Structure 1
């Protein structure tokens, strides 16, 4: 892919709010991409822009619904049962986070009030049903691994390498990203307003 132009988080927020909710009365936004691509940062900036536009926003990260490093999509049934199904029914939700240090789900349940917009960040999130809008953030493999090891430490290199190989298999045929509306450069070289702008990717 190549850079097409600059988008703004404010403009993307208006696009989200201009579309119909599909998860009950909640607009569901996916921020997909491989580990280390910059999707958490993107999701946070989009959520801030949505709040500035007057929306009540909740953010969830699929890492909080995994079983450690075992399976890319272990989060899907948990999010469906604990969050999506209640929202679809017009109810509030609750969920349990995965504790990465203890390597198990926490015992306590966290309440989640039904928002105007739910931003879900994580690998495979563009495959969710009932999406209002989907984004995918891209970055080179070497940079993604470097970012991951800076965050998690060199001791976790084997886990990172296995995870990245699993991502390669998952994204290989392109079907996982069919629902994506906006492809984003997670490693832009050009100067821009980081808090308000991002680079859009297009092409093959």
Structure 2
């Protein structure tokens, strides 16, 4: 056994995400759809992006899978709800209808909209981001994931990742996530719930 795999096997977060990715690969394959949609929700730092990367790497179907991170869509630090609405109308609904979806990314430095991106409805799609699972979006996802993780762990991972850029906005963003969890009950819309240490 290599030292790299030995280290990863002792990392509880790595183990949890590896298990989740394995379960989701089977769930995607079981949909028997040519272009399944996977929605991954969870609070900041829960492991959504890491899980999406693992799933893309080991995608169980032939061909390419598309991925959209809501971090590229949220219009600023108060934009959780608006970002999810944009993802639904510009990406998920067109994909479900067999139409090309077009969305614009948000430039966090310039505080404005940036480049346009297209989503091919014939290809599988993974969308990940906080706030994603709602009554309106759940019906548009074949496999729907909620990641549950303790606040202290999530905060440490998120701030290690984004550093001082995120620190002043942590509470501001967390309040929007609180509202989402209370009002939308995302775990209830999930086909799979995973706990990440």
Give 1:186 shift.
Answer: 2.2
Q: Distance in 1 between matches of 2:73 and 2:184?
A: 24
Give 1:174 shift.
Answer: 6.9
Runs of at least 5 residues in structure 2 that lack an aligned partner in the other structure: 1-15
Q: Please say if residues 126 and 180 of structure 1, whose CA atoms lie closer than 8 Å, have aligned partners that are also in contact.
A: yes
Task: Tell me the equivalent position of 1:148.
Answer: 158
Whether 1:160 and 2:170 are equivalent positions in the alignment is yes
Runs of at least 5 residues in structure 1 that lack an aligned partner in the other structure: 188-204
- Residues 105-120 of structure 1 correspond to what in structure 2 (within 5 A)? 105-106=113-114, 108-120=115-127
What per-residue deviation string (whole Å, max 9, x for no partner) do you get for residues 78-130 of structure 1? 22332233323322222210111111111x32233234321110112222132
TM-score, normalisation: structure 1: 0.76
More strand by share: 1
The alignment of Structure 1 onto Structure 2 pairs a total of residues equal to 178
Q: Distance in 2 between matches of 1:172 and 1:85?
A: 24
Give 1:30 shift.
Answer: 0.8
Task: Tell me the equivalent position of 2:99.
Answer: 91
Report the RMSD for the aligned CA atoms in angstroms. Answer: 2.4
Find the residue that maps to 2:39 and give its secondary structure.
strand
What per-residue deviation string (whole Å, max 9, x for no partner) do you get for residues 7-37 of structure 1? 363442232132155xxx6321111100011
What per-residue deviation string (whole Å, max 9, x for no partner) do you get for residues 166-188 of structure 1? 2123213672221212222222x
More helix by share: 2
